[in-house]
Amino acid sequence: MAKACALHILVKTEKEAQDLLVQLKKGKHFGDLAKRYSQCPSGKKGGDLGEFRPGQMVKAFDDVVFKKEVLVVHGPIKTSFGFHLIKTLYRN
């Protein structure tokens, strides 16, 4: 069974997510931005969601984590929760 570990930042608007993406591209640390801006409880842990399997997250989120390039920030990804920036650390 596949497993993955990912970090994410959850914000309310696409503009907020785009602004954070710009900061990341300028070299800001993902975990620091997650702690400061993420609306998800995982923000306190730098956006760390730990390890999970396909189907435990909403489909749009799973599609990024299990199909897109690892160690690259993807997003903004829209879900019912808001807009995510997602960085998959590993998957097997």
pLDDT given for residue 9 in this prediction: 98
pLDDT given for residue 69 in this prediction: 97
Domains by residue range for the chain, with CATH: 4-91 (3.10.50.40)
pLDDT given for residue 1 in this prediction: 85
Mean pLDDT of 75-88: 97
Interatomic CA distance for residues 27 and 65, integer angstroms: 22
The model's confidence at residue 84, banded by pLDDT at 50, 70 and 90, is very high
Cβ neighbours of residue 53 closer than 8 Å, sequence gap 6 or more = 1, 2, 3, 4
C-alpha separations of 47 from 1, 24, 43 in Å: 24, 14, 4
- For tokens 């650390």, the residue is 89
Report the run of H or E that residue 53 belongs to, with start and end: none
16-51 per-position pLDDT tens digit: 999 999 999 999 999 999 999 999 999 999 999 999
Task: Report residue 25: phi and psi, to 5°.
Answer: -65, -25
